[in-house]
Each structure stands twice: as structure tokens, then as C-alpha cells.
Structure 1
Amino acid sequence: MTDQEVSVGVRWENHLAGTMNRALVRSPELKALVRCGVPHEHRSHLWRWCVSFHVKKLREHIAPDYYETLLNVAKEKPNPASKQIELDLLRTLPNNKHYASPSAPGIQKLRNVLTAFSWRNPDIGYCQGLNRLAAIALLYLDQEDAFWTLIAIVEVFMPRDYYTKTLLGSQVDQRVFKDLMSEKLPRLHAHFELHKVDFSLITFNWFLVVFVDSVVSDILFKIWDAFLYEGPKIIFRSALALFKYKEEEFLKLQDSTTIFKYLRYFTSTILDSRKLMTMAFVDMNPFPMRQIQSRRSFHLERVRLELSELEAIRQTFVQERDKSHDGRTFVSDDDDDN
């Protein structure tokens, strides 16, 4: 363990000792501690508290056995999402012992969490990506808390339509992120523009699954610590920091093929979590959430307009095609002979 980790561990022990007989309270001190990373032995406690805080209003009028009730419903009724859930269970984190085989301890828990969520949110049902979110939550939380973690992410943190079939909210956030890249990392953004590299082909998945399978585990859990405490702004901060960390390496690459090849794996080469977190939480300041909300509103209108224009074009095409079919004359073999 490094001196830095020991120091952070001592600060956590002192903070938790001061709240031993009462619940944690959001504070600048706790926020700063979370940004340093939560020691493994305290992560379950902190994540559970964060999730409870974010879903408190949603749970006010819900029976204590709500989760079990949803699972019982699943036993009695066919679920349209079940087939896709089953297909994805073993694809979730195949290299993690908890999910590596049908009999692995995490598989049934993951199945339960995703099934219960699909009954709560039939408009979403199941979307690829939800399995990875639930699987990470289950590494530190029990089934019910992991279920509520999924709800906190989908229903509280992320905009509407983030995980629906249209992925509208996800598309919008990629445009917001491009704006932030242009503002915070203008040289790198211009470099990508010059070589016509669409980095959203890679970053789209970062946002959808909050970096699962994109960064090493030490960094992943530190991002999740801050994400569950602060919310979606952390995804933007972290994504920008990942690019800043390797900005000079990207700028040395002078053709689109090489750049895109590096884009696909560069995050797995980032190992210094302290350096990355400093970039995310110091170098990217100021970072007001209201700026992200404003950009989201702007781009949401534009994406909706584009989608409606595409739908209008599609409808026109269908109408023209139908007209041409209706106007077509069919001749018989007999007529041809005359």
C-alpha cells in the first residue's frame, strides 16, 4: 500500500469514526474524501448510503418488500425481456469469477436484479449495458441495493431515453461531450476534426456503462465512488481526463487509422489513478452542472428535430413507393401474345 493510500485510509477512518452513531451527511469534506477514492473495506457502506440518498423520494411510498414482490411477479408471468437477459448474463463480465460460468455466484443475483428492473420499467425492459451496471453494483452490494443502484442511474442520474430503444439521451450526451472537448481540450479536438475521427464511436459506450471494461479496475472503482456520490457530471469529468492524460500521444499520431486504433485501447494503458483524478477534479475546473444541463437542452431539441425530419423523409418514401405499386399495371401472359 502506498503512502498516499495509507493517508487516504486514515482520513476515512477518522471521518467515519466521527459519524459512528449517526448517518453520513453530504459535506465538502466527504465529497473531497470520495474524490480521493474509497478504501475497499468502506466501499459497500459508502455505495449503499449514496444510493439510498439518491432514491429516497422514489422509495417513500413503496412497500419494504417491493423488490421481492417484483421477483414474485416474474415467476408468475412471462417477461418479454427474459430472453435477452439470459443471452447477456455470461457476456457481462466473463473474466470475473463472480460471472464466469452459469453456476458462478453472481449470475443468479444478476438475473434477479435485471428481471426485477425490467418489471419496474417495462418501457425499457432490458437494454444492453444495464447488465454491466448491475454487475459492478453487485460486487459491493446485495441484490436489493444493486437493484436500487440501477434505478438511481437510470431514473435519477441520466436523462430520459438514455436506455430506451432510441438511446436518445445517450446521443445527446455525445454531442454535449464534443462541445466540452472543444472547450476544455481544443488542440486535441481540432486534431480529431482535422483527421475526421469520430471519437463518439468509442465514448458512447463509456457513458452507457460508466467505463466498465474500458479502464483498469482501480480506476473504475474510483470513478464509480465519485459517480454514485455526485452523479453524471463525473462521467464527463472522467472522460475528459482520460483524453487529457494521453493528449500528447494522440497529437503525435498523424493519420485517422492510427488514431482510431489507439482510441480503441488507450484507456487500458492508463494506470496512475491519482494523476487521472487530479486531471478530472482540478484541471477540468470550473465545471458547473448547469452548463451540462443547458447543452443537453440545446442538443435535445436538435436531435429531436433531426429525427422528425428523418421520419418525414421515411414517410414520404413509403407513400411514393405505395403509389408506384398502386399505379403499376400487370399484364398476363395471354396479353403478351397478342
Structure 2
Amino acid sequence: MYRPLNSESPPGESPPKTTAAAWGVERAEARRNAASNRARRNIKVKVVDLYNFNLEVSREDAVTINQVLERVKEQGRVWWAMEAKNGAGWYLQPEISSQADTTNRVSSLSLSTITGSMQLKKLIRKGIPPSLRPRVWMAVSGATKKQSTVPESYYQDLTQAVNGRETPATRQIDHDLGRTFPMHPWIDSADGRAALRRLLVAYSFRDSRVGYCQGMNFVAAMLLLVMKTEQDAFWMLAVLLENVLFNDCYAENLYGCHVEQRVFKDMFKKKFPRLAAHLDKIEFDVSLVTTEWFLCLFAKSLPSETTMRVWDVMFNEGANTLCIVALAIFKMKEEELIRTKHVGEVMKVLHDATDHAYNPDELLTVAFDKVKVMSSQTISKQRKKEQLEVMAELERRVQRLNSGDQDSGSSGSQKVMSAH
């Protein structure tokens, strides 16, 4: 007798046994549902983010982006409420707007100043509204103070003075312009490329020891998008390279970058010994990804608003922010990374993690609430130790290169050692 599947059996009659055919139907249905779910995930939605990057994202990511936009609006209302309460530009006070650790100077500050500084720190970690970023960044980073030491026309005079001059730095800048956010409607326009070139060339002459290093183009482009004017972007680039970041991060031999990589590796092994051991086993060096993260300050890896949220904190609290955020990315994917079998899998996991990090609150919550980092004093001590080792390694490599040139008669030279 035919009876539909899952129908009740008459009293006293045993339930029918599920047939192989029935299981086949169920499996086929499950496969169709899974395929349908994958198809929905693969549907791309076109969106434009806060900084006019044109994106094609999944529906889930589009929802996240819209939620972030709503939180940005809400945070804007919080900032304007603080303005109404404390006065316009309350965060512009030098004592409040400082990267220095307030706890180390309590004796010299008033209670209201300390309270204001802590309020600002908390607000900044939750995000600066895009409309206020130029003013807040200039204040908390020290760029306003740096600019005040020279004539107002400094940037214009510098760009005019170096116009038409050619150096190895300007040639590399010209080579990289077309590769800097090629899909952005303004950066990839004639006006955008011209502004980016003027900015990078001007700085290469301001500090000829640094000149230009690949990675600076992405940083400068994002500064132009945020600051709106070339002059403000120039002073943010200057304070970033001269005060915020560790010395010589963009030097020809990448000395500072190598130091930071070593400091990060030490922190990484202490925080994630199990993951570090696994990555060593499959011969994955974390600097394969962190070198680009640190040189581009995540601008090439994270979505624009997430990058800006990282920079909000970096300009107020210092360059250690970069290490903390990098650790957070590894922590968020720790279990998945431990299951990887080879280097390619690790790269894919980390690329997907950064490429889809559209929720900055999630990343920064992990960074500041779940990643317990070493104190600034401990990091500084570790940095000094690594400085000596990096300098010695650079000297050994130069000696080997010189010895090789003498032996082979070759005139070639290697500018930098590998990042790892």
C-alpha cells in the first residue's frame, strides 16, 4: 500500500521504513538548498562607500555597509552633542589633543583636562564622523602645531619650487600613480593623479632622505580623500612620517619597517603560541602579509571606513595601534588558520578576512577588548633591542653585497633586504 513519506501509520501498524530512494530525494533536496544558498551569497550588489569607492559586494556585506553608515550618522550626533556641551572645537585644546599617555602626566594636568582627554579617547575609538575627521586629525596628531612653525604658503612655495624637477623618487612616483586605487573615480582622474603627484613629490623634496617609498602612494591618496585639501593632506603626511610612525619606516633600506616586523613577531608569538607554532610548521612567515599592512597602514587591505577607523585611533594613540589591529585580525581567524595546510590557504584566509572587514566596530572591539597587548614601555624596550639587531643585519648584508660585487665584478646592488 502506498503511503506518503512522514504520514502517520494506522494504529497497530509499524511505521514504514525509509527507503534508499527517499534518502536520495532528501539528499538531492539538501544539495539544491545548499546550491541555492551559495547562489544567493554569490549575487553581487553594487554600492558606493563613504569615500566614493565603487564596490561589488555580497548582499550580506551590503547589509553590513548600510549598518555601518547608520552607526556613522549616530556617532555624528554624539559628537555634535559633545560640541554643544563642551563648546565648539573642545578637542582642539593642546592638552587634550595629544598622543602622549595621559596617565604619565597626571600631576601636571587639571581634572577637567584629564577627563576631556579620556572622553576624547573613548569617542575616537568609537569613530570620528567623516565631516570632523580633518579638524580632529590635524589637532590630535600634532599636524596643526607642525604647520604653525612655517609660513602659511609653505606647501604652495614648495610645490612651485620643485615643479619640473626629476629625481629617482619622482620617476617612481610617476610609475605608481596609475596603480593607486585605479577604480576610484577621483583618484584615477586627471585631477586626482595630479594632486597625488604634487603631494608625493613635494614630500620627497621636504625629506630627501626618505624621498618616496612604495606604499606611501596609497597612504597619501587616502589622506587626500579625507582632508579635502592638498595642504592639509601634506601636513598629515608630514606628521605621520616624522612623528607618529617609528623612524625610518619608509627609508631606502626600510630599516624602521624591519624593526616593526620583528617587534610584531615577538608580540605574535607571545599572544598566539599555538598559532605561531602551526604557521612555523607550514613555513608561513607573518611578514608576508604584515609588511604590506604596515607600509600601507592597511589602506590597501581593509575597506576604506575600517581603515579610517584604525587611523582615527593611530593619530590619537600612536603607531602601536597598527600592531594591535594586526594581532586582532589573526585572533579573529585563529581557529581557521590553525586548520590550514599550506601557505596558500593562510594567505586566502587572511585576504578574505581583511577584504570583507566592513564592520570596523567588530575589528576594533577585538583589538582593544580581547587582545591584551604589552605596555608601551615594554614595546619600546623591545623596539630598542630589535633596532640593534636590524642594524647589524643590514650591515652584514651590505658587506656581503659588496664582497659579491668585488668577486664578480658586478655593478648591481640590492636596495633593501627582504621583509622577513
- Give the TM-score range, shorter chain: 0.7 to 0.9
Q: Distance in 2 between matches of 1:41 and 1:55?
A: 17
Change (3 A) 1:5 1:321: closer
Alignment correspondent of 1:327: none
Match of 2:151 in 1: 63
Q: 1:107 aligns with which of 193, 211, 235?
A: 193
Shift of residue 161, structure 1, vs aligned partner: 2.1
- 2:37 equivalent in structure 1: none
Amino acid at match of 1:38: I
Aligned-residue offset at 1:6: 5.6
Structure 1, unpaired ranges of 5+: 323-338
Which amino acid is the alignment partner of residue 168 of structure 1? Y
Among 197, 222, 225, the residue aligned to 1:136: 222
Shift of 1:55: 5.9
TM-score by length of 2: 0.70
1:234 aligns with 2:333: no
One-letter amino acid of the counterpart of residue 290, structure 1: Q
* Paired position in structure 1 for 2:139: 49
Q: Deviations over 1:232-255 (max 9, x none)?
A: 011011111111111121122233
SS of corresponding position for 1:81? helix
The match for 1:244 among 311, 327, 331 is: 331
Question: What is the rounded CA distance, in whole Å, between the counterparts of 2:279 and 2:338 in structure 1?
Answer: 9
* The one of 168, 171, 174 aligned to 1:86: 174
Please state if 1:20 is matched with 2:88: yes
Q: Is the 8 A contact 1:114 1:134 kept in 2?
A: yes
1:232-311 to structure 2, matched below 5 A, reads 232-311=319-398
- Give, in whole Å, the separation in 1 of the partners of 2:264 and 2:400: 28
Q: Number of residues paired by the alignment?
A: 318
Specify the alignment match of 1:156 in structure 2. Answer: 243
Pair 1:169 & 2:253 matched:
no
User: Hey, what's the Cα distance between the residues in 2 that align with 1:304 and 1:6?
Assistant: 47
Instruction: Give the stretch that moved more between structures: 185-194 or 129-138.
Output: 185-194
Structure 1 residue 144, shift from structure 2 partner: 0.6
What is aligned with 2:284?
197
Q: Which has the higher helix share?
A: 1
Query: What do the CA deviations read for 1:11-66 (whole angstroms, capped 9, x no partner)?
Result: 21222222316535330111111111112232233223234x2562x445422211
Q: Supply the distance in 1 between the matched residues of 2:327 and 2:377 (Cα, whole angstroms).
A: 17
State the Cα distance separating 1:320 from its structure 2 match. 5.2
CA distance in 1, matches of 2:211, 2:201: 8
Cα offset, 1:68, TM superposition: 1.1
Structure 1 contact 54–156 (Cα < 8 Å) conserved: no
Q: Using a 3 Å threshold, how does the CA distance of structure 1 residues 60 and 7 change in structure 2: closer, same or farther?
A: closer
1:88 maps to amino acid: D
> Given the superposition, is the C-alpha separation of residues 6 and 69 from structure 1 closer, same or farther in structure 2, using an over 3 Å criterion?
closer
1:6/1:161 CA distance change after superposition, 3 Å: closer
Q: 1:198 to 1:151 in 2, by over 3 A?
A: same
- The match for 1:74 is 162
* Closer, same or farther: CA 188–55 of 1 in aligned 2, 3 Å: farther
RMSD: 2.2
Aligned equivalents of 1:149 and 1:188: distance in 2?
36
Measure the CA separation in 2 of the matches of 1:72 and 1:117: 13
Of the three residues 211, 216, 233, the one matched with 2:303 is: 216
Distance 1:80 1:317, change over 3 A: closer
Aligned mates of 2:358, 2:277 — CA distance in 1: 26
1:212 Cα deviation from its structure 2 partner: 0.9
When residues 4 and 158 of structure 1 are mapped into structure 2, their CA distance, relative to the original with a 3 A threshold, is closer
Cα distance in 2 for residues equivalent to 1:224 and 1:301: 29
Task: State the distance in 1 between where 2:71 and 2:89 align.
Answer: 28
Task: Give the distance between the partners of 1:21 and 1:299, measured in 2 at CA.
Answer: 40
Matched, 1:118 2:204: yes
Gaps of 5+ in 2: 1-65, 98-116, 410-420
CA distance in 1, matches of 2:397, 2:355: 37
Instruction: Give distance in 1, aligned partners of 2:399 and 2:275.
Output: 37
2: CA distance, partners of 1:55 / 1:4: 28
Which amino acid is the alignment partner of residue 78 of structure 2?
Answer: R
**Counterpart for residue 38 of structure 1:** 128
CA deviation digits over 1:178-227, x for unaligned, max 9?
Answer: 11111222222222112111120111010011001211223111111111
Aligned-residue identity in percent: 32
Distance across 2 between alignment mates of 1:67 and 1:6 = 33
Q: CA deviation at 1:76?
A: 6.2
Q: 1:29 to 1:64 in 2, by over 3 A?
A: same
Q: Which secondary structure state, in structure 2, belongs to the residue aligned with residue 41 of structure 1?
A: coil
